[in-house]
A and B are shown apart, each in its own frame.
Chain A
Amino acid sequence: MSNPSATESPQELKLYVKTPKVYPREVDGRFSRLRVLAAWVLLGLFYVAPWINFGGTQIVLFDLPAREFHILGLTFWPQDFFMLALLMAIAAITLFFFTALAGRLWCGYACPQTVWTEVFLWMEKATEGPRNKRMRLDQGPWNAEKIRRKVTKQFLWIVFSLWTGITFVGFFTPIRELVPSIFTLEMGGWEVFWSLFYGFATYGNAGFMREQVCKYMCPYARFQSAMFDNDSLVISYDVERGEPRGKRAKNADREELNLGDCIECMGCVQVCPTGIDIRDGLQIECIACAACIDVCDEVMDKMGYPRGLIRYTTESALKGGKTRILRPRIFIYLGVLLALISLFSLVFFSRESVHVDVLRDRTTLYRMAGDQIENPYALKITNRTESTQRLILSATGLEGLVVVAPTDAIEVPAGEVSNRPITLALPDDAIGPGLHEIEIILMPEGSVETPSSDDEALAIGETRFFVPGGN
């Protein structure tokens, strides 16, 4: 058991190497322009959508305090949770489908982590300069210029993060009321908290963690390989064509020097936001942003070599085979996706037209009116149809149970929620004391008034009727 290395062991704690900071070089090209376009569209949606009103309500508003989701003029309630779950399943399968087909499109173009990192990098470039300058600045001493540049960058980052946090909260609290409330210092406590929380998360993730989120935290990065096969689109370096790599003069004869097309300019390594060398092969760190394709194409153009030394390709194609797009994997994902979309449509279009929630009155359990026991309730009637509904109430479940108030029809405008107090009454000798299950039935006005038939009912609410103990 004696082990001479035991004393050396604590030193091993120091072996860990700090992850070196990645300084991605700026790049221009087909794919980077596409990436910038995607960023504009996605961030545009995020920052602008809450400001758009439609018919008096925000176009996208997850009104948690009122427990209502407004999306594109439609209103959803917690009862619609099943639809939300279905939507998430659809989103997940869509992700799987596109991964199998075209690789990590999500990571490179659409993931919020990528998009916000790109914006933060843009601000870093605007304040600290291009890659080489940033590296020199970080290594150099803290002089006036460094302080000025760093402070400007932090200022931009922080303002942008705060605005991001406020916009995020604006999806949950009407943003047109939220933003003025900042200046009048009337913002709610939780709104301040969540704005700062989301702002800080943006700042930390996009400003500092960056590629580390993809490398160490992202679950998708870990399991996306399960969706991959030899026919999935990946970004790859053409080893056959590129090797042996080596520097050479522009007009040098490759054949004579016995070199491949890779001139070892290190461009692909410098532009990589995750700091890898794509020439080492497909790696889990690669987020498929295609920056290396752009920079390599540019170099190939300069050298007069054909483009595509690094390109979107598939394992099959690299091995000289043909890429099969239509393959079982694609059909399975597509099948599941279509099934889920059909199910969602079915649920969506068969949403109940009227929904009722019955809440017992919190303050008064019951009151006596002569020989009648009266129970007060609050009805929350949701009209999901596009027309005004006039509803007649009735109550079943106990012999002799009647609706005392209201006696005439309740009117609920299209797409609105109406809160109504109602009173039910029961003769005091009808049943023993306790809480008895009853149902409140809502029927369209003018229908046959038979409380027992559910056929005409637009909505049924379940609750209990309280009968006090006799003494």
Chain B
Amino acid sequence: MNVSENEINVPPPRPLIQRLGAILWPSFFAAGVATMVLFAFVDPIELAAISFPELEISRETGYAVAFLGFWLGNASACSFTWLLLRPRSRFHASTAERPRTTT
């Protein structure tokens, strides 16, 4: 009976690849920009000297670690947004928003 209603109110989940794409791609892009801006002003060697002076950190490592770190951070934020935006009705059908009709 309510199936057609639910079909309207609860869109089917997107395929995994779309979800992954929507999370990984914007975070990748933002990480690229962030890395570029950061290292335009900071030399990774100097950054290493004030953070981990006991480690031998080359510039290449600095760039890569920062980029991957930014990506991870951004992807976490994007994933959280995705988590929050999932329609709860998909998991708790009783709370599904349906058009206000008679009841």
Q: Which residues of B contact A378 (CB under 8 A)?
A: none
* Contacting pair B59 A4 (CB below 8 A): no
Q: Which residue of B lies closest to A13 (CB)?
A: B13
Roughly how many angstroms separate A15 CA and B12 CA in the complex, as a whole number?
A: 6
* Contacting pair B17 A5 (CB below 8 A): no
Roughly how many angstroms separate A191 CA and B96 CA in the complex, as a whole number?
A: 51
Instruction: Please tell me which one of the listed residues A8, A19, A84, A216 contacts residue B6 in the complex, with CB atoms under 8 A apart.
Output: A8
Q: Which residues of A contact B41 (CB under 8 A)?
A: 78, 81
* Contacting pair B60 A12 (CB below 8 A): no
Given A6-B94, A193-B64, A16 and B14 contact (CB-CB distance below 8 Å)? yes
Interface of chain B: mostly helix, strand, loop or mixed: helix
Q: Which residues of B contact A9 (CB under 8 A)?
A: 6, 10, 90, 93, 96
Is B7 engaged at the interface, CB distance under 8 Å to the other chain?
yes
Interface size on B, residues (CB 8 A): 34
* Contacting pair A5 B93 (CB below 8 A): yes
Q: Which residues of A contact B18 (CB under 8 A)?
A: 212, 216-217
Roughly how many angstroms separate A216 CA and B25 CA in the complex, as a whole number?
A: 10
Interface size on A, residues (CB 8 A): 32
Roughly how many angstroms separate A188 CA and B61 CA in the complex, as a whole number?
A: 11
* Contacting pair B40 A17 (CB below 8 A): no
Shortest beta-carbon distance from B89 to chain A in Å? 8
* Contacting pair A216 B13 (CB below 8 A): no
Roughly how many angstroms separate A310 CA and B88 CA in the complex, as a whole number?
A: 44
Q: Which residues of B contact A403 (CB under 8 A)?
A: none
Q: Which residues of B contact A17 (CB under 8 A)?
A: 12
Is B43 engaged at the interface, CB distance under 8 Å to the other chain?
yes
* Contacting pair A188 B17 (CB below 8 A): no
Is A65 engaged at the interface, CB distance under 8 Å to the other chain?
yes
* Contacting pair B12 A5 (CB below 8 A): no
Q: Which residues of B contact A3 (CB under 8 A)?
A: 2, 93-94, 96
When each residue 52-93 of chain B gets 1 if its CB lies under 8 Å from chain A and 0 otherwise, what string results?
000000111101100000000000000000000000001001
Instruction: Please tell me which one of the listed residues B1, B5, B7, B60 contacts residue A64 in the complex, with CB atoms under 8 A apart.
Output: B60
Q: Which residues of A contact B7 (CB under 8 A)?
A: 12, 15
Is A239 engaged at the interface, CB distance under 8 Å to the other chain?
no
Interface residues of B in 9-27 (CB under 8 A from A): 10, 12-15, 17-18, 21-22, 25-26
Q: Considering the complex of A and B, which 3 residue pairs feature the smallest CB-CB distances, nearest first? A: A9-B93, A81-B40, A5-B2
Q: Which residues of B contact A (CB under 8 A)?
A: 1-3, 5-7, 10, 12-15, 17-18, 21-22, 25-26, 36-37, 39-41, 43, 49, 58-61, 63-64, 90, 93-94, 96
Can you offer 13 A-B residue contacts whose CB atoms are under 8 A? A4-B2, A8-B2, A9-B96, A12-B90, A13-B90, A16-B15, A81-B37, A81-B40, A84-B36, A212-B21, A216-B14, A217-B21, A219-B26
